[in-house]
Amino acid sequence: MKVKSSTIQNKFLRVQTLNYGASLFEVYHKKKKINLILNLGSKQNYRYKHPSVGSTCGRYAGRISNAKFKIGNKKYNLNANEGKNILHGGKVGFSILPWKKLNQTKDKVVYQLHSANDDQGFPGDLVVNCTYQLINKYLFIKYEYKSNKSTHVNLTNHSYWNLEKNKKNMIYNHALKLNSSKYLQINKNLIPTGRFKNVNKSIYDFSNFENIRKKLDYFKNKKLNIKFKGFDNTFVVKKNIRNYVGTLKNNNTNIQVDFFSNLPGVQLYSAQNLNYKKKLFPYQGICLETQYFPDAPNKKNFPSTLIKPNKRYTCFTKIKIN
């Protein structure tokens, strides 16, 4: 199947989407004349394996330890693709699959994907709708999903944001604030241990706006002997009426992007491992992936990702672009 694009727009924003991965290809700020996200260049590249650039990750965004879980007394073995673990749904995740476009208006487009029982080892025939909609300065992303069997689902959009006009400037001049006082402790394989850590006065404290370059310099301190080269961490979103998650801004362009979601966590990824065909490079974008927690199927103290048969579930992310 060919890669097909669809464009929605209003007087503030123009958003180009692709059927492969139900991906965001462009989020264009009309006043500033800047595309705010990275893409793979040629749209045909989205047919093949790539670092989930702008795509929908599923069935399960993030990692599941040992690529297995239990529902009731039944064990399910999944299609491991990161050592013995599974990341972003397996070797053939939602990000490289062709989605069907259901309908489109000037400011809204809806994609649908059917994932068969045992797809990458997950139980249940799953149907997912992904909606992109523009309302004034807001980009809405909504996922609706239903399965005929109990199964685990965790969906997110994996856009790499870069608010600079020249993307070669990387993300160093960005500042980030997160509505979070806790993050998930992880092991050397980036799997949550099940413990929650307080961000207070740590490198993970984004309670106020923090410069990304200064934060990343911490990981380069050889005296600290840190294994990681940047952020790939889940932050627990503090519950609030507005569903506010956080804000990314850039002082060079004076663009600010506010994130809102009904999901309990946000995965902060500083793209330290990004590398794609000499076109995309480490630290060139930053991901704010609203989602449930990684490895929730194996952690009883995490918000559950288990869905019941024949019940429709909905999650959303709302992005305000100023």
For 5-321, CATH gives 2.70.98.10
CA distance 8 to 257: 19
Q: What is the pLDDT along the chain (322 residues), one digit of tens a residue?
A: 899 999 999 999 999 999 999 999 999 999 999 999 999 999 999 999 999 999 999 999 999 999 999 999 999 999 999 999 999 999 999 999 999 999 999 999 999 999 999 999 999 999 999 999 999 999 999 999 999 999 999 999 999 999 999 999 999 999 999 999 999 999 999 999 999 999 998 999 999 999 999 999 988 876 555 668 999 999 999 999 999 999 999 999 999 999 999 999 999 999 999 999 999 999 999 999 999 999 999 999 999 999 999 999 999 999 999 9
Question: How high is the pLDDT of residue 226?
Answer: 64
Question: How high is the pLDDT of residue 42?
Answer: 95
Beta strands in 161-201 (DSSP E): 174-178, 180-186, 192-198
Closest CA to 155 of 64, 235, 61: 61
CA distance 20 to 181: 36
CA distance 267 to 154: 12
Closest CA to 152 of 268, 51, 61, 267: 61
CA distance 59 to 77: 14
DSSP string of 210-227, one letter each residue: EEHHHHHHHHT-GGG--S
Domain boundaries, the chain: 5-321
Question: How high is the pLDDT of residue 129?
Answer: 98
Question: How high is the pLDDT of residue 1?
Answer: 85
Amino acid making up residue 194: G
Provide the CB-side half-sphere exposure for 116 (13 A, CA).
3
* 37 strand-pairing partners: 161
Residues 65, 267, 282, 34: is their CA dihedral positive or negative? positive
| 236 contacts 265 by C-beta, under 8 angstroms | yes
In the block, residue with structure tokens 């099940």: 194
Mean pLDDT value across the chain: 96
| Residue 19, SS3 per DSSP | coil
Tell me: the pLDDT tens digits for 49-97? 999 999 999 999 999 999 999 999 999 999 999 999 999 999 999 999 9
DSSP string of 105-127, one letter each residue: -SSEEEEEEEE-TTGGG--S-EE
| Residue 298, SS3 per DSSP | helix
Let me know if 221 is exposed, middle or buried by CB neighbors in 10 A (0-12, 13-18, 19+).
exposed
CA distance 59 to 74: 19
Question: How high is the pLDDT of residue 223?
Answer: 56
Q: Which residues touch 22 (CB under 8 Å, ≥6 apart)?
A: 55, 56, 94, 99, 111, 113, 130
Tokens of 158: 């994996």
Question: How high is the pLDDT of residue 219?
Answer: 87
